[in-house]
Structure 1
Amino acid sequence: MLVDPIMSMWSDRLFQGAVVVYLIALLVHAAEYVTHRSPKAARAAAAVGSGSGDGGSVAVATPPDGVDTTAVESGDVPADDTARRARSDRYGRMAVSLTVLAVLVHLASLVARGVAVSRWPLGNMYEFTSALCLLAVVSWLVALRRMPTIRTVGVFVLSPVLILLFLAGTVLYAQAAPVVPALQSYWLIIHVTTITLGSGLLLVPGVASLLFLMRRSGRPAGLVAKLPSADVLDRIAYRVTVVGFPIYTFAVICGAIWAEAAWGRFWGWDPKETVAFVAWVIYAAYLHARATAGWRTTRAAWINAAGFATILFNLFFINMVVAGLHSYAGL
């Protein structure tokens, strides 16, 4: 199988361009977060502004915690507070637009990689990690579309994505080339694509659960004050996990079927298989905990965070350190 060096070069350049745009989006999201007025402070400013009007104080409706108070009339809010919220909103819109642009460039990078090698571009750890990050950001944008008030979380979602992309482009990078014989199967498209999609989706609830735990503890106070409410973060974690878990389950089943076709057994307790199963059990426990009285909040969030850590452990440590039947992927 011949490799197109021109398309391979363009894939690498597009990948680098996507990382740069993601980085700019992260910095703009950080600017949004810094200039964002916490819900409690916004309510206090609105109350002060309403009390300074002629004829005594005017009752101001208090919005739920975590919801931006932009609905307060401009006459009841100090001018500097209004300007600050407008600036924060402008930064947020710019950051989301840059993230969408980065997603498009990132997608073009994967498409160019596939064209360069004439195969599905998920044959090594570089390609897998790149696709996982792409799907994680897409799932974040979908969640943001449904819940616009969570936009300030963007800086915390893009941070691990950029770390993973940096590792993909350096430590995990592999030249465009045909895949090893073990991966020359149509199951590459089915199993690896679904495990990538499932893992990418589960990155968002992992971050949301960690932020939920920080919000609940109130530490560090200066950082968590501007986050959405704990209830909003918990809903994000649960709803995205409900979507990602069945996909991850299907991917594990497909992996077992592929293992039987390639190695003559459905399950052999290979290290990667074992940790993938452990992650599945943890996420199943999380969903069960969310339906169990006394477990559905903080304890469930800890379980979800453990599942997120297990996914990352399986992605890096098992592939890079532990020897097994899955020890290929261009490392």
Structure 2
Amino acid sequence: MPINETLAHYSDLAFESAFAIFVLAFVLLIAQYATTRARAVQERELVTAGAVGSSAPGAPPVPGRVTEPQAKPLSERLGNMAMAVLVVGIALQWAAIVLRGFATERFPLGNMYEFVSMAVAAATTVGVVTLRKQTYRSLWAFLLIPVLILMFLAGTVLYADAAPVVPALRSYWLPIHVTIISVGSGIFLVSGVASLMFLLRIRQPKGEESSGLLGRLAARLPDAQTLDRLAYKTTIVAFPLFGAGVILGAIWAEAAWGRFWGWDPKETVSFITWVVYAAYLHARATSGWRDTRAAWINVAGFVAMLFNLFIINMVVSGLHSYAGLN
């Protein structure tokens, strides 16, 4: 099968451009995060201003007085710039995936580089949808940290030239099974970050700004309940997707290897990951486990997913060793 080198080059260029744009967005988000004052401090200042001001907020204007429109805070302007840049980066990331597919004339999920690219695109796209509100925007700075790490690893250690897939992957199950798994993994990334930030935020008493770096970071996050709900809602979406991916993988295994399940390392760890997330959903609905203990289970599921992606594919040998690494 011939490879279109021009399209493959444009795909790599789009990926590299997306990485650079995500770095720029990360810098803008860090600046926005640094210039955002803690919510408790902002609320106290607003109450004080309303109490001592000549007119209450929302009162009709005084005749003869010129009311000047208030400029948007610097943090909000930086956040708006970062979101605009993020949309461009996400578009370039999807363009890199599509161009890789056209260059190879196959579905672009044949190796770890392509899988991570799809997972990152899914995570950032879900992030735009779920974190679109102003109250969630501060989470983007933390979500982009694993995104940038994954993209850096994909572009260096995991990178594979555009080429046909191995014969075992030349099946219509490839776009079905691997797409569902990669999208589910990307959504789990958002959920894992939300739970980690929940564990950081819940350490700070409500309405107080703790001293120290972690305290200052936590004070600018949404409240703990909001973060917990975000982690739960995204897991609810990702959990059935990931489970369906595991089941469809078993069906593909029966067609390719003559058995539905053979306790291959990839199969086993995928199933363990799914069970951990099932335990999180159960704990989240159980009285007494809804706070930190349920969040730690969610974080454990996130770690298991990363272990499955890197250690199993790169270190452990098995029937799923199609990482495209030399």
Query: What is the 5 A alignment of 1:291-330?
Result: 291-330=285-324
- Which position in structure 2 is the counterpart of 1:77? none
Q: Distance in 2 between matches of 1:217 and 1:258?
A: 45
Task: Give deviations 1:240-259, integer Å, cap 9, x for gaps.
Answer: 11111011110000000011
Partner-residue secondary structure (3-state), 1:123? coil
Query: What is the 5 A alignment of 1:9-20?
Result: 9-20=9-20
Query: What is the 5 A alignment of 1:187-206?
Result: 187-206=173-192
Partner-residue secondary structure (3-state), 2:164? coil
Partner-residue secondary structure (3-state), 1:119? coil
Partner-residue secondary structure (3-state), 1:3? coil
What is the TM-score normalised by the length of structure 2?
0.91
- Which position in structure 1 is the counterpart of 2:200? 214
- Which position in structure 2 is the counterpart of 1:265? 259
Q: Distance in 2 between matches of 1:88 and 1:126?
A: 35
Does the Cα contact within 8 Å between 1:46 and 1:72 map onto a contact in 2?
no
Task: Give deviations 1:81-100, integer Å, cap 9, x for gaps.
Answer: x76x6111111111111111
Distance apart, 1:291 and its partner CA: 1.0
Does the Cα contact within 8 Å between 1:204 and 1:240 map onto a contact in 2?
yes
Q: 1:122 to 1:72 in 2, by over 3 A?
A: farther
Q: Extract unaligned runs of 5+ from structure 1.
A: 61-70, 74-81
Q: Distance in 1 between matches of 2:321 and 2:135?
A: 42
- Which position in structure 1 is the counterpart of 2:89? 102
Partner-residue secondary structure (3-state), 2:44? helix
What is the TM-score normalised by the length of structure 1?
0.90
Q: Distance in 2 between matches of 1:211 and 1:252?
A: 28
Q: Distance in 2 between matches of 1:252 and 1:148?
A: 36
Question: Which amino acid in 2 is paired with 1:212?
Answer: F
Q: Distance in 1 between matches of 2:232 and 2:154?
A: 28
Task: Give deviations 1:217-255, integer Å, cap 9, x for gaps.
Answer: 237101111000000000100011111101111000000
Task: Give deviations 1:167-204, integer Å, cap 9, x for gaps.
Answer: 00000000000000110000001100000111111100
Q: Does 1:137 align with 2:131?
A: no
Q: Distance in 1 between matches of 2:283 and 2:181?
A: 23
- Which position in structure 2 is the counterpart of 1:186? 172
Query: What is the 5 A alignment of 1:78-97?
Result: 86-97=73-84
Distance apart, 1:54 and its partner CA: 5.2
Task: Give deviations 1:43-83, integer Å, cap 9, x for gaps.
Answer: 1212332343359xx7x9xxxxxxxxxx999xxxxxxxx76
Partner-residue secondary structure (3-state), 2:131? helix
Distance apart, 1:211 and its partner CA: 0.4
Task: Give deviations 1:108-159, integer Å, cap 9, x for gaps.
Answer: 11111001000000000000001100000001111023x4310111100111
Task: Give deviations 1:294-329, integer Å, cap 9, x for gaps.
Answer: 011211101101001111110111101111111122
- Which position in structure 2 is the counterpart of 1:171? 157
Q: 1:29 to 1:287 in 2, by over 3 A?
A: same
Q: Distance in 2 between matches of 1:54 and 1:238?
A: 45
Question: Which amino acid in 2 is paired with 1:39?
Answer: R
Does the Cα contact within 8 Å between 1:110 and 1:127 map onto a contact in 2?
yes
Q: Distance in 1 between matches of 2:252 and 2:153?
A: 28
Q: Does 1:228 align with 2:214?
A: no
TM superposition outliers: structure 1 runs of 4+ over 6 Å:
none
Q: Distance in 2 between matches of 1:203 and 1:209?
A: 10
Q: Distance in 2 between matches of 1:310 and 1:54?
A: 58
Q: Greater shift after overlay, 106-115 or 38-47? A: 38-47
- Report how many residues are paired: 310
Distance apart, 1:286 and its partner CA: 0.7
Question: Which amino acid in 2 is paired with 1:327?
Answer: S
Distance apart, 1:281 and its partner CA: 0.3
